[in-house]
Amino acid sequence: MQQEKHFINSIYYQLEQTAKYCKYLGNQLFEKLNFEIPLDEFVVLDTILVHGEICQRDLAKLILKDRPSTGRLLNSLEEKGLIERFADTKNNRLVRKTKLTAKGQCVTEQITNVLKEYFARFPVLSGEKVLDLKTRIQEFKDGLEKEVEMKI
């Protein structure tokens, strides 16, 4: 059997498989540790923390979800008092921007610390190899970004 011929042995499919493990692992962890928000919502908080006050569409582009899903995630976070939304303008256009509340920052930091501690004891790869892998994936992702039309 010529393995290289098959799509399931391509880097594209192998990446998807690996990412699925990451997602499962993350979700299981969030449930096991009884965090008060699911992984997806934490990603939103972390993204806002890194990128600052951004409008919903820009957030959607960053988390690679469509606009309705992004809006719903923000609704949920707003109901929990973890974010605040406020009107602002971007290119002379009215947009809804988002920022973390004090509670939201607290929750995000807390989860971040627990995750950091957890992954530090995680015997997957040595630190050096992980760093190397990360830069190569980044390179690959940058190449893909130019080719894919995301419609967000």
- Helix ranges restricted to H, the chain: 11-32, 39-51, 56-63, 67-79, 102-120, 127-147
Stretch that binds DNA, among 44-52, 57-65, 104-112, 116-124 (CB under 7 A): 57-65
The set of residues, in sequence order, having a beta carbon less than 8 Å from that of 1 and lying 6+ positions away, is none
Residue from 47, 62, 71, 84 touching DNA (CB under 7 A): that is 71
x/- string (CB under 8 A) for a copy of itself, residues 50-79? x-------------x---------------
Residue 120 binds a copy of itself, judged by CB under 8 A:
no
Give the separation between CA 105 and CA 107, rounded to whole angstroms: 6
Side-chain half-sphere of 59: how many Cα atoms within 13 Å?
Answer: 29
Residue 117 binds a copy of itself, judged by CB under 8 A:
no
143 contact choice in a copy of itself, DNA, none (CB below 5 to 8 Å, kind-dependent): a copy of itself
CB of 94 to a copy of itself, least distance (A): 27
CB of 126 to DNA, least distance (A): 30
The set of residues, in sequence order, having a beta carbon less than 8 Å from that of 50 and lying 6+ positions away, is none
Burial (Cβ within 10 Å: 0-12, 13-18, ≥19) of residue 57: middle
- Residues of this chain that interact with a copy of itself (CB under 8 A) are 1, 3, 5-26, 28, 42-43, 46-47, 49-50, 64, 112, 115-116, 119, 122-125, 129-130, 132-134, 136-141, 143-145, 147-150
